[in-house]
Amino acid sequence: MGDQFGTTVARWIVSAVMVMSAIVGSASATPFFFSTGNVDGRMAVASRPDAGGKIEIEAADDFTIANQTQITSATFTGLLTSTLAVPTIGEVAVEIYRVFPKDSTIPPSGNVPTRVNSPSDVAFDTRDTALGTLTFSTATLAPSFTAANSVLNGINKSPNQTTGGEGPVTGAEVQFTVTFATPFDLASDHYFFIPQVQVTGGEFFWLSSVRPIVPPGTPFAPDLQSWIRNASLDPDWLRIGTDIVGGATPPTFNQAFTLTGTAITIPEPTSLALFAPAILGLFGVLRRRRRSAAH
């Protein structure tokens, strides 16, 4: 009787495993694409690695992920300014941050007006040409483009954070396309995207895009404004519009970028419905076994 009972239970376990295999097999992979939309020319912010004798600057804008997603490539658009006839592009990096207080020290330092909705203290993941985990290409969209305002050096701790910006900046409008040797593997969450470009004989300024996002962009909520910091402000961040530009009605900005990848979806209600019969069947076997033992 014991052997028969064991065999029956084993069959039900095999059945349950087969059901779970069917559930896994039902997972769907769909193309993922996100965009903040078109460049609007209101703001250009520096974003560069610690290289070439210049301190690091990180500019960040947010996006959300609904399902487990692998990000395989991205684009971002900015200005290349130059004191040379032809500026040289060196290191290019892309960082992904989560939203504070994740990956952060609590409480924060108090060196900025707020950390609510800022990027976290440290990066969640990074791809970099210096590490061989990122490749890139460029396309010139316009040989000369002027942004109405800019941020490069005016990134200061409180109470001196509000500078109004550093005025118009002109350069070649260039779109970078970056491909990740190993995709960013991101769970459902809220993230910040940070591109950095080293330019010898000039600067890279990431251009702003419309806010709120409208088609051909990908609207989402909550859409947070863009943030910035340099090595002197690290680990804190400033809001580019609210903190640095300031004013009676401060502007807020998004930055121009897109993300491309693959989203993986496993339908949870279907999973439960498929798995329930196997569990109920195993429960029935156990009940019958207990009744038999009682008699």
Q: pLDDT tens digits for 136-164?
A: 999 999 999 999 999 999 999 999 999 99
Q: How far apart (Å, rounded) are the C-alpha atoms in residues 125 and 106?
A: 21
Query: First CA to last CA across the chain, in angstroms?
Result: 13
Q: Is residue 20 part of a domain?
A: no
CA atoms within 13 A on the CB side of 123: 15
Q: How many domains does one find in the chain?
A: 1
Q: How far apart (Å, rounded) are the C-alpha atoms in residues 46 and 203?
A: 7
Q: Kind and range of the H or E element at 188?
A: none
pLDDT reported for residue 128? 98
Q: What is the pTM of this model?
A: 0.83
Q: Kind and range of the H or E element at 77?
A: strand 68-82
Q: Is residue 282 part of a domain?
A: no
Counting every residue written for the chain, the total comes to 295
Q: Report the helix count and the strand count for the chain, using DSSP H and E.
A: 2, 15
Look over the chain and give the mean of its residue pLDDT values, rounded to a whole number.
88
Q: Is residue 17 part of a domain?
A: no
- The model's confidence at residue 288, banded by pLDDT at 50, 70 and 90, is low
Q: Is residue 11 part of a domain?
A: no
Q: Is residue 287 part of a domain?
A: no
